[in-house]
Amino acid sequence: MWLSKVAVSNCRIVACAELELAAHANVLHGDNASGKSSLLEALAVLSRGRSFRTPRISELITRGTNELTVSARIEDGIAGGGYPAGICKSNQATRIRINHADAAPQAELSAHIPLTLIHPASVDLVTGGLPYGGHSWIGLRFTALRISTQLGATISASLNKGTLACVMPSNATPCPNGQNN
């Protein structure tokens, strides 16, 4: 599945834009403040129902207008097969359409338009540090893996020696070796 066309209206500085997209890769280039990030935000709204920058839809809607609209043509890989999908958002309501029919949950539209956005902050989470400081996600994953491996080895050794003690509520099932603390 891929998007062959995207139309955006009233998303930040983009009053109206229509793009024809390639099946495999597309590059957006232009001067600063020309609308590149606004187009990416519009795609995020189409796919996820929200921006990657802000939870407030009012910040995305172009000043002086009441709603933003993002629509696309989804190609399904079958010769000549494809269908339209779109979302229209205002401060009060959201309307989603898929293949000329109304759709209620955002998840339904998201299933048709899976999108992964990678921006500098995303890369920092993986390689650099967490937003509040500290370790990277990769470091945390390896730490958790090491702890769970050590915990598993400790439990296994305790079971073999018959020295495992459990702390549990009185109405819980007893420990395997019958020791409850």
Kindly list the averaged pLDDT for each block of 10 residues, start to end, along the chain of length 181: 92 95 85 90 91 90 96 83 93 94 88 73 58 56 63 60 46 48 43
CB 54 within 8 A of CB 60: yes
| DSSP assignment of 59-126 | GTBPTT-SEEEEEEEEE-SSTT-EEEEEEEEESS-EEEEETTEEE--HHHHHHHS------HHHHIII
Nearest to 50 by CA among 97, 120, 117: 117
Tokens encoding 14: 């983009």
Amino acid at 159: L
pTM: 0.65
CB-CB contact of 3 with 73 (8 Å): yes
pLDDT at 71: 96
Predicted local confidence at residue 169, as pLDDT: 45
For the chain, the structural domain boundaries read 2-117, 118-181
pLDDT at position 136 is: 55
Whole-number pLDDT of residue 167: 41
pLDDT at position 79:
65
3-state DSSP call for residue 9? strand
Category of 162 on φ-ψ map: left (φ > 0), alpha (ψ -120 to 50) or beta? left
Q: What fold characterizes domain 2-117?
A: Rossmann fold (3.40.50)
